[in-house]
Amino acid sequence: MILKGRHILLTGGARGLGAVLARHLVDEGARLTIADLAAEEGRAVAAAVGAAFHPVDLGDTRSVALLAGSLDGALHGLVNNAAIATGIGGSGFEEVDDDTFERVLRVNVWGSWAMTKACAPALRATKGRIVNIASDTALWGAPNLISYVASKGAVMAMTRSLARELGPDGVGITAIAPGILTTESTEYVPEARHRLYSDGRAVPGPQPPEDVAATVAFLLTDGALTLTGQTLPTDRGFVFT
């Protein structure tokens, strides 16, 4: 159990990839706190895996500060997983309205920054780890998904900048960039896009969310410090960097 004795905060743990990560992190020995806007689902996942739960709205400064201030004990890791991903693709960039674009960036970019900022003092105290969940769509330039691609590209850039600011204190931060995972958040994605990934991967076929859980767990360990600032494509060889 590579995370035994480590307290990890996971945002967006109520469903999809987040729920899978919650189970895996606990199985690896972590003391886990799940944070999500979907309180009922989040509490159910927390109860199922033996984790704590706190509601949070990543678009609200006070909500983020309240969460960070309510954490019990030392904090050793933060996983910025929460994001808007459902129902925002399929339209050309000229058809995306201002409110949608702003809302996606508010949660996916601002939310990750705000959570990192709020947790930074606690993570500096433990020389902790941060894992940002990005997307390989920002590496290959997926079309008809402009707000999401822009937000995940920003998360990657932010990871590099934060690595240099947090590194002197021994805090490591990395990003992973999965492809399309088989979760409810990708059910709306056109079949042609699913086939593009399935056929184009070095390891062909669909990619379940369980596929990236072990990578996230490792990146929360002491040994992951050498990877700080990096974005790791975790898409079974769809994108190479």
Domain enclosing residue 11, as ranges: 7-234
Torsion of CA 123, 76, 66, 215, to 10 degrees: 110
In this predicted structure, what is the pLDDT of residue 186? 67
Asked whether the beta carbons of 6 and 29 are under 8 A apart, the reply is yes
Q: Does any domain span residue 1?
A: no
AA letter at 235: D
Q: Does any domain span residue 170?
A: yes
Helix (H) or strand (E) holding 26: helix 16-27
Catalytic residues: 148
Chain position carrying tokens 């079974």: 236
In this predicted structure, what is the pLDDT of residue 207? 92
In this predicted structure, what is the pLDDT of residue 190? 77
Q: Does any domain span residue 239?
A: no
The number of C-alpha atoms within 13 Å of 203 and in the hemisphere containing its C-beta is 9
Per-residue pLDDT of the chain (241 residues; tens, 9 = 90+): 999 999 999 999 999 999 999 999 999 999 999 999 999 999 999 999 999 999 999 999 999 999 999 998 999 999 999 999 888 888 999 999 999 999 999 999 999 999 999 999 999 999 999 999 999 999 999 999 999 999 999 999 999 999 999 999 999 999 999 998 877 766 767 788 889 999 999 999 999 999 999 999 999 999 999 999 999 999 999 999 9
In this predicted structure, what is the pLDDT of residue 181? 86
Q: Does any domain span residue 96?
A: yes
Two tokens, residue 70: 């309510």
- What CATH number should be reported for the domain holding residue 148? 3.40.50.720
**Nearest-5° Cα angle at 174, 172 to 175:** 160
Two tokens, residue 237: 């060889």
Q: Does any domain span residue 2?
A: no
In this predicted structure, what is the pLDDT of residue 184? 72
**Cα separation, 231 vs 241, whole angstroms:** 9
Domain count, the chain: 1
In this predicted structure, what is the pLDDT of residue 193? 87
Q: Does any domain span residue 241?
A: no
Contacts of 199 (CB under 8 A, 6+ apart): none
**Cα separation, 225 vs 158, whole angstroms:** 17
SS3 58: coil
Q: Does any domain span residue 35?
A: yes
Chain position carrying tokens 């309240």: 66
Helices (H), 89-201: 98-105, 111-126, 137-140, 146-166, 191-200
Q: Does any domain span residue 240?
A: no
